[in-house]
Amino acid sequence: MNQPIPYGRQHITDEDIAAVADVLRGPFLTQGPHIGAFESAFAKYIGCHYAVAVANGTAALHLCCMALGVTEGTRVITTPITFSASANCVRYCGGEVFFADVDPATALLDIHAVRALLEQHPKGYFSGIIPVDFAGYPVDMAAFRELADEYDLWLLEDSCHSPGGSFTDSQGVAHRCGDGSLADLAIFSFHPVKHIAAGEGGMITSNDEALYKHLLRLRTHGITNKPAEFTEPYPGEPERGGWYMELQELGYNYRLTDMQAALGNSQLTRVDAMLARRQEIARRYDDAFAGTAVDIIVPPTDVVHAYHLYVIQIDDRKGLYDFLRTRNIMAQVHYIPVHLMPYYQQFGWKPGDFPNAERYYARCLSLPMFPTLTDDEQAYVIESVKEFVGA
């Protein structure tokens, strides 16, 4: 293969380009009609009541932490196997990040480890949990909801990897990631390697009207222009006119542009086909690596895995990574455990704290996984991996 094969890549069609060009010819470059259209279409796709479009997934996490009341000293639990933004959002608000180990069978936050951590402290010590649908494997949010209710915690689902993914609860009911039925809030990213590319972009989903209204205000500086939300006029205040608005709290400018919303909305029309292709690629990898020295995670049939990543585990990970580079295959590592990042080690986290996460990190490698990966390219990736392991 002459062209390098990346681990992920966006797919932009002529329709996508036309949608963006239309915006550029129109009157609104930001906060125009495409924002609302994208929010409604995304909410419909996910199956939730409300969606708030924001500048990126990290901004989405930050605003969610603000809306959930994270402040100086608030303690929040998340997984070490995630992109660091899942933890950083707590720090932006001055909160304290706690980690619990992952389940080796899924690489997801282990609910038993979370329960053990909760039991070590009095009730009220922790405020919330941020589970992550890592790689696209949906967390069992019903089990986390039960645990959260027992300890009076909120749940913020980081669904950046899992739009379209779902799991089935013990009652046999399927829940799509971020559908608002279990987690208080969920967030998505439209970074180009994710399922929907908007350049940069993010979305918050929820069924909670109060949180929704608060997030709309936080997204745009903390300003409201809705008369129903205004404070009482002060004595002698000049009469309020159409210009009137109020800064009610300290928010941010985390808005999405109309160009990005139009691109995201255009991509959303193909999201089912793109997810189906990701799943097809995953099945082919699964079949190829079954019975070899390459370890894979295959979800049960009642779980719809969204396959943002296809991660294999292998003892000589560095060897395979380097070998694939010589073949122009740009595999990647997801993730270096967040608790081992120098920034987090300053809070006392250290090697050995989370053995499952650290063992996973030592052996994991993400193979190319994106809808436009061709059958030939995938065959070449499979053949190269098999040659390395001698299968």
Q: Is 162 in the site for ligand PLP (CB under 6 A)?
A: no
Number of residues lying near ligand PLP (CB under 6 A): 14
The CB-nearest residue to ligand PLP is 57
Nearer to ligand PLP by Cβ, of 95 and 288: the residue is: 95
Number of Cβ within a 10 Å radius of residue 273: 10
> Which positions from 125 through 154 interact with ligand PLP, judged by CB under 6 A?
132
Q: Is 58 in the site for ligand PLP (CB under 6 A)?
A: yes
Handedness of CA 352, 357, 361, 362 (dihedral sign): positive
* Catalytically annotated residues: 194
Which tokens is 26 given?
């129109």
* CA nearest neighbour of 100 among 86, 85, 88, 115: 115
Q: Is 78 in the site for ligand PLP (CB under 6 A)?
A: no
Q: Is 338 in the site for ligand PLP (CB under 6 A)?
A: no
Q: Is 177 in the site for ligand PLP (CB under 6 A)?
A: no
Give the interface segment with ligand PLP, choosing from 158-166, 221-229, 292-300, 348-356 (CB under 6 A): 158-166
Nearer to ligand PLP by Cβ, of 282 and 338: the residue is: 338
Give the interface segment with ligand PLP, choosing from 62-70, 82-90, 266-274, 373-381 (CB under 6 A): 82-90
Nearer to ligand PLP by Cβ, of 252 and 323: the residue is: 252
Q: Is 195 in the site for ligand PLP (CB under 6 A)?
A: no
Residue choice 91, 161, 195, 255 for contact with ligand PLP (CB under 6 A): 161
Least distance from C-beta 287 to ligand PLP, angstroms?
27
Q: Is 38 in the site for ligand PLP (CB under 6 A)?
A: no
Q: Is 257 in the site for ligand PLP (CB under 6 A)?
A: no
Least distance from C-beta 102 to ligand PLP, angstroms?
13
Number of Cβ within a 10 Å radius of residue 216: 16
Nearer to ligand PLP by Cβ, of 85 and 153: the residue is: 85
Residues within the interface to ligand PLP (CB under 6 A)? 56-58, 82-83, 85-86, 132, 158, 160-161, 189, 191, 202
